[in-house]
Amino acid sequence: MQTIFRGKDLITLEDWSLEEIETLLEVSYELKRDFAMDRPTVYLPNKTVFLMFFEQSTRTRNSMEAGITQLGGHAHFLDTSKMQIAHGEVAKDTAIILSRMGHAIACRNCFWKQGNAYLRELAKWATVPVINMQDDLFHPLQAIADLMTIQEKKGRNTRNLKVSVIWAYATTHKKPISVPVSQVLLFPRFGIDVTLAYPEGYDLPDWVIEKARDNARKHGGSLRITHDQEEAYRDADVVFPKNWGSWVTNESTEVVDSLLEANRGWKCTVERMALTSQGSLYMHALPADRQNEVEDAVIDGPHSAIYDEAENRLHTAKAVMALTMGGR
């Protein structure tokens, strides 16, 4: 078990070894048990984490804020439109100054071709850990909570579990690709057989597919791609039907276009869930576009694990902060 984390950035789980991720899961389980028993977990007394948000959030903001409080520290919520960033202050200056005043910088910046570069620039100059709360490419805090939830429901040994990451129709906003990217990269490292299903035009970057296949080769999982959603539901143990934007093929920020409208039929329905294996899970990072991405009968039905998945955002966020801001 890897035990040395203090000062480590979490930009993507690709930068963390399998042993480090296993420790992160162990600590998450321990913190969840402590939470259930109302046992104090004051691992970060008087420590400050800065939470910089370029976009909206419910789960990420609150898991980080509640999490640091439960660890004995404090969060500053920073709406970047109210920071001097809005007047052009550069990431270098922000990173150095916040490093002088606190103990970690967490940031969400999902702007296409900007977010990850911004996080990397913060990390280059910060002298405290930088935690990615979602960018245009990665959402490590979501992917680790997803994996924890799968393990809780399906067993710690996930080898040869069938997990499908499936595109779904939604109109709320042009969503980042960071959730499916993080899932298809992480799950094969735990021996999972991943099916990625999407209509043509909603491709993930080629380098993601190559890296996911490399991860699968090294760790015994697999990745198959299909453009047939029924194929992705058939015999799946876990399904993640979720919208993402066509950023790779079309950089426009327009939400609704002809490609999207041509794929209204990509929806998680009771009929499609009937194709999955006995006791299968329906999961979603949330927020869900109810009635477009998924029928209420599914998201509120017996397969749904969405609230446990969301709660695990708290326990995994606490583990990331406890290890990188404290630990050894």
CB under 8 Å to 220, separation ≥6 — which residues? Answer: 159, 191
**Residue 101 beta carbon to ligand CP: minimum distance, rounded to whole angstroms:** 24
**Residue 286 beta carbon to ligand CP: minimum distance, rounded to whole angstroms:** 5
Q: From CA 264, how far away is CA 261, in angstroms rounded?
A: 6
**Residue 77 beta carbon to ligand CP: minimum distance, rounded to whole angstroms:** 13
Residue number, 63 or 246, with CB nearest to ligand CP: 63
Residue number, 58 or 253, with CB nearest to ligand CP: 58
Q: From CA 79, how far away is CA 216, in angstroms rounded?
A: 38
- The 54-83 site mask, x for binding ligand CP (CB under 6 A), equals ---xxxx-----------------------
By CB under 6 A, is residue 312 in contact with ligand CP?
no
Kind plus residue range of the DSSP H or E element containing 193: strand 193-197
**Residue 143 beta carbon to ligand CP: minimum distance, rounded to whole angstroms:** 10
- The 271-290 site mask, x for binding ligand CP (CB under 6 A), equals --------------xx----
Q: Which of 243, 233, 244, 222 is nearest to 303 (CA)?
A: 233
**Residue 142 beta carbon to ligand CP: minimum distance, rounded to whole angstroms:** 5
**Residue 13 beta carbon to ligand CP: minimum distance, rounded to whole angstroms:** 15
Residue number, 57 or 250, with CB nearest to ligand CP: 57
- Judge contact between 89 and 33, C-beta under 8 A: no
Residue number, 179 or 216, with CB nearest to ligand CP: 179
What are the phi and psi torsion angles at 238 (to 5°)?
Answer: -140, 135
Q: From CA 251, how far away is CA 145, in angstroms rounded?
A: 29
DSSP conformation letters of 196-216: EE--TT-PPPHHHHHHHHHHH
Q: Which of 158, 210, 167 is nearest to 189 (CA)?
A: 158
**Could you say which residues in the range 134-163 bind ligand CP, by CB under 6 A?**
134, 142
Q: From CA 219, how far away is CA 195, in angstroms rounded?
A: 16
**Residue 134 beta carbon to ligand CP: minimum distance, rounded to whole angstroms:** 6
Residue number, 146 or 295, with CB nearest to ligand CP: 146
Q: What six digits make up the tokens of 150?
A: 């799968």
Amino acid identity at 172: T
Contact footprint for ligand CP (CB under 6 A): 57-60, 134, 142, 285-286
